[in-house]
Amino acid sequence: MKKVFISVGDVSAANYVYEVFKEGFEEYSLAGITDERLEKIGIRSVARLEELSLVGLVEVLPKLLKLKRIYDRVLKELKGSDVLIACDAPGFNLRLIKKAKSLGVKRVIYFISPQVWAWKPSRARLIARYADDLILILPFEVDFYKSLGRSSLRVHYLGHPLVDMVKSSLSRGEFLGRVGLEDRFIALLPGSRWGELKRHLPLLRRVVAEMGDYHFVVPTFGSFSEYVKYSLPFGNVRVISERELSSPSYNAMAYADFALIASGTASLEAGIMGCPHLVFYRTNPITFRIAKRLVKVDYVSLVNLLLGEGVIPELLQTRPETISELSRRLIDNPVYLENVRRRLESLRVKLGEGGVITRLRDLFLKLI
């Protein structure tokens, strides 16, 4: 039985892997870095995603010894694997792809490119050197990699999986009834990692306190719910997770009048859903200063990058008063909100037609 190792480093990548690999791969032995959902579809766990899911430069330093132990476990597993599928997470996966062939891995597939067009373009050259196939999910990345001139690297772009994945599971009336609201609300998405929650919830606590006349819905993971409730102890806040209803984030985005979203995949999901929002982020000040010097793009939000203009406001390392003041102005301006919704309609066109998950599944079956 052919052995495949799948190395994921964040929740978004794990979601894409789950959708692609949940059927059709029964004849393969799958192992990897997993979460509970990936284990349920038969991927044997060598390490857990939460052990690896770190963001930032300074923030990673205290975890280096733990990451080294995980890396050593993964290398041991790779020695008996036929295929390595590395998903984003360049800090971890670029080291893996450099070692893979010397460990006997016959094919290296890189799925979901790191943001090499934003910073550290040298990472693209490493992928081009060590990977056999590169599967992209953003359209503008194709020309970037082809410009590297390595003819033996096979570059594939089949659309973005979120085109298939982002959808509500409830009607507006059903959703409002489940969260105990009658009308308008703002969605808060503070991030998908513990580190992001710990940085962002104190910020959002002050934002919510200053906007006490609005209702807020916070979709999060079940394991985070109690911490979020403790951090936002207000009567106008509803915290929901998959324990209360399916697809909490997508339902919240579908019916929110506005959203405050930590920079990341959630902004693109909201854009596909047509939800007006602003992007915020806080990180270690040293990390921010270093990143600001290195990043080579005009925008942080993938929505703005794809549309080529600042449709979504970006507030990075910003005071809570600035976020609350801007949020008030925008949510109470129906002309602005409708204009943003119209401009977001073109996102799906840019990301490709539906059926992406099926096309990706067929491609992986062909490659491995």
Domain ranges in the chain?
A: 3-160+352-367, 172-351
308 touches 243 (CB < 8 A): no
249 touches 224 (CB < 8 A): no
CATH fold, domain 172-351, is Rossmann fold (3.40.50)
Q: Which amino acid, residue 333?
A: N
Average pLDDT rounded to a whole number, residues 128-156: 88
Lowest pLDDT segment from 118-132, 221-235, 239-253, 345-359: 118-132
Lowest pLDDT segment from 27-31, 243-247, 251-255: 243-247
Residue 280: in which H helix or E strand, if any? strand 277-281
- Write down the CATH number for the domain with range 3-160+352-367: 3.40.50.2000
Which residues lie across from 237 on neighbouring strands? 216
Using the predicted structure, report yes or no on whether residue 286 has a pLDDT greater than 80: no
Average pLDDT rounded to a whole number, residues 153-176: 95
Instruction: Specify the pLDDT at position 158.
Output: 95
Taking only the tens place, the pLDDT of each residue in 330-364 is 999 999 999 999 999 999 888 988 999 999 999 99
Using the predicted structure, report yes or no on whether residue 368 has a pLDDT greater than 90: yes
Q: Do domains 3-160+352-367 and 172-351 have the same CATH topology?
A: yes
Q: What is the pTM of this model?
A: 0.89
At 198 the three-state DSSP class reads helix
Determine whether 43 is exposed, middle or buried from the number of CB atoms within 10 Å of its CB (0-12, 13-18, 19+): buried
Using the predicted structure, report yes or no on whether residue 195 has a pLDDT greater than 90: no
Give the separation between CA 78 and CA 291, rounded to whole angstroms: 32
Neighbours of 60 (CB within 10 A): 14
Q: Which amino acid, residue 13?
A: A
Written as six digits, the tokens of 268 are 């693109």
